[in-house]
């Protein structure tokens, strides 16, 4: 009985938090609309920079789920496979520094997750359950043509690297399909069990995750993110602004001409948590890289994650934000090199 009451109270607090933030932000959007004569909420046209189209090898693969996945490939097709999985609000080009660094030793495949970029955008919230996203990664690995592996249907395994939501997908993939992961590397995303533990006991983490409650509201979050030409995410905390170039910003704004499917990741996590039984102990050799100036997560999530791994190494990157692969790519790449 006490547990049921606690769940009801938590649900009511969550709804109150959601509606409070939605009302405040709705008022702000209305004010911006009136102040700018509607311009603040009007979508602006952006184009993908030619360099991103012409200087990279763009491909697609049809997955068994029906998702048509866009990815960028670099390196020798006979080299070991490395798959990189982006987070929110990112896309394949967020891994540009890793593409250039690892392409001489690996077949580097950098995906747009479902709902992002040129990959299919299924319409339902339930299409973004984390186990489905993890299955996308596994289907990709085994579906890519391989000239070196014994499996005729594709690769048997890959080095898998994830950041933010891509880290959550990479963790889940390694837990469900450990045989498909040669090595796991996760940047600024805690192990699912560590995250759930901290949500229950850390008021600091709950406080900085309040935006997730707001994201449960229909339509308003999309309008808030896109307002004033995505101004809110241009202030999202990356510290090394030299790596956040105007070219990257233009490509980012072009890619996020639709936000609903990306925000559906958060809606699905809250409204339809996966009831699939997932083994929580990570059996794969794991490297955790963590920018210690993360404003969205707490460092304890990194240290607690190692306790859920058989074999894990943790490196904190001093002075780096949540966006550590872009903030300090040299040090991130060095740690990955040493680990591999």
Q: What is the DSSP letter of 65?
A: T
* Identified catalytic residue from 112, 127, 138, 164: 164
| Cα(191)–Cα(194) distance, integer angstroms | 5
Report the 10 Å Cβ neighbour count for 310: 11
Rounded to 5 degrees, φ, ψ at 115 are 90, -5
Query: Residue-wise pLDDT tens for the chain (340 aa)?
Result: 555 565 666 667 778 888 888 999 999 999 999 999 999 999 888 999 999 999 999 999 999 999 999 999 999 999 999 999 999 999 999 999 999 999 999 999 999 999 999 999 999 999 999 999 999 999 999 999 865 444 456 899 999 999 999 999 999 999 999 999 999 999 999 999 999 998 888 777 677 778 888 999 999 999 999 999 998 777 666 778 788 888 888 999 999 888 999 999 999 999 998 767 889 999 999 999 999 999 889 999 999 999 999 999 999 999 999 999 999 999 999 999 999 9
* Identified catalytic residue from 70, 128, 266, 327: 266
Report the 10 Å Cβ neighbour count for 42: 13
* Identified catalytic residue from 70, 163, 322, 335: 322
Residue among 66, 206, 194 at smallest CA distance from 136: 66
Q: If you search the block for the tokens 């959007």, which residue do you land on?
A: 29
Active site residue 337: no
pLDDT of residue 7: 61
pLDDT of residue 261: 96
Active site residue 127: no
Active site residue 248: no
pLDDT of residue 148: 47
Sign of the CA dihedral with 324 first, then 330, 333, and 335 last: negative
């Amino acid at each position: 009985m006490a547990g049921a009451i606690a769940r009801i109270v938590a649900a009511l607090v969550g709804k109150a938090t959601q509606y409070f933030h939605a009302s405040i932000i709705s008022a702000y959007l209305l004010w911006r609309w009136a102040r700018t004569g509607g311009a603040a909420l009007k979508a602006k046209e952006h184009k993908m920079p030619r360099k991103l189209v012409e200087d990279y090898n763009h491909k697609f693969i049809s997955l068994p789920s029906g998702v048509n996945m866009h990815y960028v490939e670099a390196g020798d097709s006979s080299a070991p496979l490395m798959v990189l999985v982006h987070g929110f609000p990112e896309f394949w080009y967020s891994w540009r520094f890793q593409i250039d660094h690892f392409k001489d030793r690996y077949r580097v495949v950098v995906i747009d997750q479902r709902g992002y970029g040129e990959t299919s955008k299924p319409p339902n919230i339930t299409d973004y359950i984390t186990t489905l996203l993890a299955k996308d990664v596994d289907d990709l690995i085994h579906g890519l043509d391989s000239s070196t592996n014994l499996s005729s249907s594709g690769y048997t395994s890959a080095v898998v690297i994830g950041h933010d939501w891509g880290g959550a997908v990479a963790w889940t993939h390694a837990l469900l399909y450990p045989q498909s992961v040669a090595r796991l590397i996760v940047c600024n995303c805690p192990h699912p069990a560590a995250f759930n533990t901290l949500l229950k006991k850390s008021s600091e983490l709950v406080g900085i995750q309040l935006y997730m409650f707001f994201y449960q509201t229909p339509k308003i979050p999309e309008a808030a993110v896109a307002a004033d030409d995505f101004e809110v995410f241009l202030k999202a905390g990356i510290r090394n602004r030299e790596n956040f170039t105007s070219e990257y910003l233009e490509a980012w704004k072009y890619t996020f001409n639709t936000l609903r499917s990306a925000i559906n990741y958060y809606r699905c996590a809250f409204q339809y948590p996966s009831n699939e039984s997932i083994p929580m102990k990570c059996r794969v050799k794991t490297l955790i890289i963590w920018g210690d100036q993360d404003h969205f997560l707490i460092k304890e999530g990194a240290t607690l994650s190692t306790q859920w791994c058989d074999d894990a190494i943790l490196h904190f990157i001093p002075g780096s934000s949540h966006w550590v692969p872009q903030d300090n790519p040299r040090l991130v790449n060095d740690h990955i090199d040493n680990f591999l």
